[in-house]
């Protein structure tokens, strides 16, 4: 069973994401700011981290960089959630170490498919790299 850490400071979005993922049977952990996100990533060792970029204390990109620098966590799936999915932002998100991103507002009907598509892309990339 996959464990997912949701990092989101907006209660409405958090509730939405929690509801969708719970219905799919995922184990969940939650954080509402960057400091908490780092603590939870280390303590909970989630398989997948869904991270809002605009969060208090440490922003989502910096949290991603720091998680990638932790040996134990560097191979986790990290998916950004962002309202700023412009081309330049997309590059910044990928450069920080995210495997992909999902644009806000969240569409509950396609959310799981979007996550699965990003995970599948990563699998294929890793296969290509041998």
Report the alpha-carbon distance of residue 118 to residue 103 in Å, rounded.
13
Which residue, 21 or 81, has its beta carbon nearer to Mn ion? 81
Q: Shortest distance, CB of residue 55 to Mn ion, whole angstroms?
A: 5
Q: Within a 13 Å sphere around the CA of 79, how many CA atoms are in the beta-carbon half? A: 26
Report the alpha-carbon distance of residue 62 to residue 50 in Å, rounded.
14
Q: Shortest distance, CB of residue 5 to Mn ion, whole angstroms?
A: 15
Verify binding: residue 13, Mn ion, rule CB under 5 A: no
Place of tokens 């989101």: 8
Verify binding: residue 9, Mn ion, rule CB under 5 A: yes
Q: Shortest distance, CB of residue 53 to Mn ion, whole angstroms?
A: 7
Verify binding: residue 59, Mn ion, rule CB under 5 A: no
Verify binding: residue 52, Mn ion, rule CB under 5 A: yes
Sheet of 27-31: strands edge to edge? 27-31, 3-7, 48-52, 77-82, 100-103
Contact footprint for Mn ion (CB under 5 A): 9, 52, 54
């Amino acid at each position: 069973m996959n464990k997912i850490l949701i990092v989101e400071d907006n209660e409405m979005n958090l509730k939405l994401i929690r509801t969708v993922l719970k219905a799919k049977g995922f184990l969940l952990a939650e954080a509402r700011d960057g400091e908490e996100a780092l603590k939870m990533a280390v303590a909970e060792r989630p398989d997948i981290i869904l991270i809002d970029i605009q969060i208090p204390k440490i922003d989502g990109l910096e949290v991603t960089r720091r998680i990638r620098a932790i040996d134990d966590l560097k191979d986790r799936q990290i998916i950004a959630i962002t309202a700023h999915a412009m081309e330049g932002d997309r590059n910044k998100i990928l450069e920080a170490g995210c495997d992909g991103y999902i644009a806000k507002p969240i569409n509950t009907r396609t959310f799981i498919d979007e996550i699965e598509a990003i995970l599948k892309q990563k699998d294929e990339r890793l296969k290509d790299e041998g």
